[in-house]
Amino acid sequence: MDFLAVEGLTKFFGGLAAVYQVGFTIQEGEIIGLIGPNGSGKTTVLNLITGFLKPNAGRVTLAGKDVTGLPPHRMCQNGVARTFQLTKSFPCCTVLQNVMIARTYGRDPAPNLRVAADEAMDILGVVGLADKANFLARDLTLMERKMLELARALAARPRLLLLDELMAGLNPAETEETMQLIRKIRDSGITILVVEHIVKAICLYSIHQQGYRYLFSPFPKSPAQARDVFEILNASIPEGERPTKVAIFQETTDWGIELGNLWKENAPKYGYQVVVYETYTPRTEDMSAMILKAKEAGAETLLTVPAPPDGITMVKQMVELGWTPKFALMIRAPENVTWAETLGKNGDYFTIFPGWHHAENFPGVAELNAKYQAQFGRPADLLTGPAYACVQIAAAAIEKAGTLDREAIRDAIAATNMTTVIGPVTFNTDGTGNVLNPLIQWQNGKQELVWPPEHASAKLVYPAPPFDKR
Ligand code: ADP
Ligand code: MG
């Protein structure tokens, strides 16, 4: 029997279908992830399961019992606890009092305050907050507030625990620590639904090393991005003219660290030398120190993976400080179509590895571009191809499986061997895809495909003209 079964769950807010016909199952002892961008309805699904909202249609079954639309306190008594995206502790109570309240009013409540206090202390030990027991909740750090939120949910003695973006805002070390804690909680017999908003993990390789059974990603990963940049440069530029002095500006996030280290490791293998390796935290306003270091070191190549606002800050300050790398690979920030509008000519010649470009001549691309053109007035944007390929792969797998059984579809996806709009796709056992990794360069305010040559819409412009000569 499914431990939790959700079928046809639907919720309208006025005319907006926030959740429409959602269905999934969770088996006892599983950790299941629900991911999606902001506004895709993840929190609403949790609100519908836990009774904070009543669905317009659909059914929620817990251990075989229909619990659709039961109010939150009844769901709590049935063993369903959740954390909130915006933590909801009592700010003026102590950490211990917050957990005691949950221990007193949740499922299987403590018989008296003394027992509640003892058990609350045990729970604080599990989440690593024992030494903060007498702090006021409002004085905690973000990580500590998230752990208190988790402690309060655990105090309700759940059988099913729903975590709403528990890891959002945490740094990589805190995230890893929290994931270990989540596994430990599962091992203690609690089934877990993890809701996260982790779209940037699209290129992250390390996530594929964690043994997720249902993680398949037809997108180039960090190891390919860290290798291909040097292979493309060496294949496109004659020896002696290559931009062998490299500056790496590493963002202090899981993806930034992963890529930074791989670039550093690969550079010497291809005849490149890392002359500057600097780190910065997301949303840094002043990047001048690291830019000046790169300029003084005579760096010719820039390798970096900034979020859009940081990429724009970086370029503006490079312009001000007069440092133009001959070649710049800036993954992520320049993917956005607004890059050229914001930066004008200064946004030109930056290159990206976005996984796809509308000039690729694979079957189905012309039709996709035509439909996109009709709807949005331009050929399909960079990430459209990989997204569409995901749907092609899923559809083919469902057809091949001939059933909606989760394992059968999973196995069919694992065995994928087909040509999609991004080209041929197969998967490795860790869920990473074997896919083309095209290089795109901004030229005259347009994204051009410059590698591989058989698909190219333009030649790589090298070296990039200095900012003040454009
Ligand atoms: P997510 O958690 O995936 O970011 P939400 O479930 O919070 O998404 O929201 C899904 C959509 O429903 C959004 O467009 C949001 O604005 C809307 N929405 C959520 N809650 C309400 C509400 N109580 N009233 C009206 N609209 C809502
Ligand atoms: Mg949410």
DSSP string, 403-456: S--HHHHHHHHHT-EEEETTEEEEE-TTSBEE----EEEEETTEEEEEESGGG-
Residue 170 in any domain: the answer is yes
Give yes or no for residue 105 having a pLDDT over 90: no
Among 34-43, 125-134, 232-241, 322-331, the least confident range: 34-43
Ligand 2 centroid, distance to 84 Cα (angstroms): 9
Neighbours of ion ligand 2 (CB under 5 A): 42-43, 85
pLDDT tens-digit map of 284-293: 999 999 999 9
Count of the separate structural domains present in the chain = 1
Q: Which atom number of ligand 1 is nearest to the Cα of residue 38?
A: 4
Tell me the ligand closest to 83's alpha carbon: 2
Average pLDDT along the chain: 94
Ligand 1 centroid, distance to 39 Cα (angstroms): 6
| Residues β-bridged to residue 247 | 276, 302
Residue 27 in any domain: the answer is yes
Cβ–ligand 1 contact at 18 (below 6 Å) = yes
Which three-class secondary structure state does DSSP give residue 192?
strand
User: 360 — phi, psi (to 5°)?
Assistant: -60, 135
Residue 48 in any domain: the answer is yes
Give yes or no for residue 355 having a pLDDT over 90: yes
**If you average pLDDT over residues 236-248, what whole number do you get?**
97
Residue 42 belongs to domain with CATH number: 3.40.50.300
Spatial separation of the C-alpha atoms in residues 185 and 188, rounded to whole Å = 5
What does the buried/exposed string (b/e) look like for 372-392 if buried means 16 or more CB atoms within 10 Å of the residue's CB? Answer: beeeeeebbbbbbbbbbbbeb
Give yes or no for residue 200 having a pLDDT over 80: no
Give nearest CA residue, ligand 1 atom 12.
18
The CB-based long-range contact list for 329-334 (8 Å cut-off, 24+ gap) reads 329/229, 329/301, 329/302, 329/303, 329/304, 329/353, 330/302, 330/304, 330/305, 330/306, 331/203, 331/225, 331/259, 331/304, 331/305, 332/200, 332/305, 332/306, 332/307, 332/308, 333/306, 333/307, 333/308, 334/442
**CB distance 141 to 88 below 8 Å:** no
Cβ–ligand 1 contact at 13 (below 6 Å) = yes
Among 38-42, 257-261, 343-347, the least confident range: 38-42
Domain interval for residue 51: 4-197
- Nearest Cα neighbor of 223 from 460, 450, 428, 416 is 428
CA dihedral 321, 326, 328, 334 (to 10 degrees): 70
Q: Which atom number of ligand 1 is nearest to the Cα of residue 165?
A: 2
pLDDT tens-digit map of 369-399: 999 999 999 999 998 999 999 999 999 999 9
Residue 470 tokens, joined: 């454009």
Residue 396 in any domain: the answer is no
Return all residues near 420 (Cβ < 8 A) that are at least 6 apart.
Answer: 218, 362, 364, 388, 389, 392, 393
E runs forming strands in 264-394: 273-280, 301-304, 327-330, 350-352
Cβ–ligand 1 contact at 227 (below 6 Å) = no
Residue 94 in any domain: the answer is yes
Give how far the C-alpha of residue 367 lies from the chain's centroid of Cα atoms, to the nearest Å: 29
Which three-class secondary structure state does DSSP give residue 351?
strand
Return all residues near 221 (Cβ < 8 A) that are at least 6 apart.
Answer: 203, 204, 205, 208, 432
Residue 114 in any domain: the answer is yes
Does residue 200 or residue 285 have the better pLDDT? 285
Give nearest CA residue, ligand 1 atom 27.
13
Length of the chain: 470
Give yes or no for residue 214 having a pLDDT over 60: yes
The rounded percent of the chain whose pLDDT value lies above 90 is: 84
Spatial separation of the C-alpha atoms in residues 27 and 19, rounded to whole Å = 22
**If you average pLDDT over residues 334-343, what whole number do you get?**
91
Residue 259 in any domain: the answer is no
pLDDT tens-digit map of 284-320: 999 999 999 999 999 999 999 998 899 999 999 999 9
Residue 153 in any domain: the answer is yes
Strands 433-434 and 423-427 turn out to be antiparallel
pLDDT tens-digit map of 416-467: 999 999 999 999 999 999 999 999 999 999 999 999 999 999 999 999 999 9
pLDDT at res. 199: 56
What does the buried/exposed string (b/e) look like for 165-193 if buried means 16 or more CB atoms within 10 Å of the residue's CB? Answer: bbbeeeeeebbebbeebbeebeeeebbbb
Claim: this prediction has a pTM higher than 0.75:
no
Ligand 2 centroid, distance to 191 Cα (angstroms): 20
